Structure 1
Amino acid sequence: MLSVIQLVLAGLGIGLLMAAPIGPVNVLVIQRAMAKGFWGGLAAGLGAVLGDGVLAAVGAFSIAAISDGMLAYGDTIQLVGGVLLVAFGLALLLRRPVMTTPPHERSHILDHMGIIPQTFILTVTNPGAVLGMAAMIGGLGSLMGGLNTNLEALILVAAVMGGSLLWWLGLSELIATIRHKLTDNRLKMINRVAGFILLAFGAALIIEIGLRHFG
């Protein structure tokens, strides 16, 4: 059985491992931090933190109703995620890139709250995130012989969210410190690359559903 400190460290590690791989949310956080600064990037990351918290809670507390619902409506959830990614990608490709918060100015996180539910939905509709979190929480539970109390499960969920938050804080700060070097052409290129990546992720999710049902 793991001690509280070991449980916290394990949760932090899971949160970092879930957040770090380059995926749709990382692309969005980078793009938002480039255009809107530190708080814009962090706000996008906070949606992922909340999503990781929900997925970790499903695994840690073994919330059967939510888990069964995610399995039963897995294709619908994946389709919603795919459509959202395609929409985000098209918006980045078609929208004229603008650095809405100049590098010498600081915005407030309340200015960017609208992105939080969007990245939350992207996180909980990402099949890779759902399966990855289930595998990591399940593996840790096997190592510990199970989470014996609700307090242990709560500590693990909080630690997972803390690890995820650390990643988004670091990434947003890194991008915010170099954004002053951006020109209009570089920002346009970043938007195009980000748009194509999001389109590719979204199309892959939608095509996978189509192949499962009609292939």
Structure 2
Amino acid sequence: MASLVVTGFAGVLFGLALAAPPGPMNAIIAEESVVRGWAAGFRAGLGAMLADVLFFVLALAGVVAVIDRYPAVRPALYLAGGCLMLYFAIGAVEEARAATSFTDGGRAATTGFRKTFVLSLTNPYQIGFWLTVGVGLLERGTLDVLAYAPAVGQLLEGVLVVQTGSPALLLGFFGGIVVWVVAYPAALAAAGRRVDAFAPAVAALSAVVLVGFGLLFLAMGTLRVV
């Protein structure tokens, strides 16, 4: 029983580690949360999570691994993802200009879901996760979680060893993502209610993040093609 709890907790940490880092998905979730409210931000988070569920099913079926067999696929994903991010950045700029305060709900409430879902499907980093770590989570065996920690990995070897391929690990993993897509929009929405100027500022920051990642993806896609 204790082993299952530890494994489930490790899964939650994995889910949070995948969902929490700054990036284009969290930029869109932030924009939706402060401009349209918690529900819109939550739906945007569900879009990214749905893509992970889809990748999980494809990895389980062995389909995701096919991407590695075709070298041209990844550059195409980088280019497609980069173009989408720049396109969505235009919308974020418009939001930054139009948003004068926090609003609960509002127009185009389903836009965030579509944005994050489509971006996730063309995100080579997300696909790369399911080709590497994700496949490792599915295969039966053991994983020394803290051994991979930067700088201190050797000191922490053997401290937290979990069973991979375990339902507890996978449930914890998606549970961690759920925690993030619920709590992150809630925190931003609460801040938006307190500070009206927070909404346009976050929308502007979202645009900057999307432009940065869009240009990065285009550059990486171009280099891989060349």
Normalising by the smaller structure, the TM-score range is: 0.7 to 0.9
Are 2:19 and 2:180, in contact at CA under 8 Å, matched by a contact in 1?
yes
Which is further off, 169-178 or 91-100?
A: 91-100
Partner of 2:192: 179
Q: Give the secondary-structure state (helix, strand or coil) at the position aligned to 1:44.
A: helix
Pair 1:47-2:47 in alignment: yes
Are 1:89 and 1:195, in contact at CA under 8 Å, matched by a contact in 2?
yes
Are 1:29 and 1:42, in contact at CA under 8 Å, matched by a contact in 2?
yes
Pair 1:209-2:210 in alignment: no
Partner of 2:202: 190
Are 1:30 and 1:175, in contact at CA under 8 Å, matched by a contact in 2?
yes
Amino acid at match of 1:64: G
Q: Give the secondary-structure state (helix, strand or coil) at the position aligned to 1:112.
A: coil
Partner of 2:149: none
1:27-68 alpha-carbon deviations (Å, 9 max, x no partner): 111111110111011111001111222233344x2x223431
Change (3 A) 1:43 1:99: farther
Distance apart, 1:136 and its partner CA: 2.6
Partner of 2:20: 20
Q: Structure 1 unaligned runs (5+)?
A: none
- Find the aligned partners of 2:69 and 2:176 in 1 and give their Cα distance: 26
Distance apart, 1:156 and its partner CA: 4.5
Are 1:18 and 1:133, in contact at CA under 8 Å, matched by a contact in 2?
no
1:23-172 aligned at under 5 Å gives the runs 23-59=23-59, 61=60, 63-69=61-67, 72=70, 73-95=73-95, 96-98=97-99, 102=103, 105=104, 107=105, 112-140=109-137, 141=139, 142-143=141-142, 147=165, 152=166, 156-172=169-185
Higher helix share: 1
Are 1:52 and 1:164, in contact at CA under 8 Å, matched by a contact in 2?
no
Change (3 A) 1:192 1:170: same
- Find the aligned partners of 2:111 and 2:199 in 1 and give their Cα distance: 22
Change (3 A) 1:121 1:6: farther
Give the structure-1-normalised TM-score: 0.78
RMSD: 2.9
Q: Structure 2 unaligned runs (5+)?
A: 144-162
Give the structure-2-normalised TM-score: 0.75
Are 2:55 and 2:64, in contact at CA under 8 Å, matched by a contact in 1?
no
Q: Give the secondary-structure state (helix, strand or coil) at the position aligned to 2:132.
A: helix
Aligned length, in residue pairs: 200
Partner of 2:150: none
1:63-89 alpha-carbon deviations (Å, 9 max, x no partner): 223431476322222222111111111
Amino acid at match of 2:90: L
Q: Give the secondary-structure state (helix, strand or coil) at the position aligned to 2:98.
A: coil
Q: Give the secondary-structure state (helix, strand or coil) at the position aligned to 1:22.
A: coil
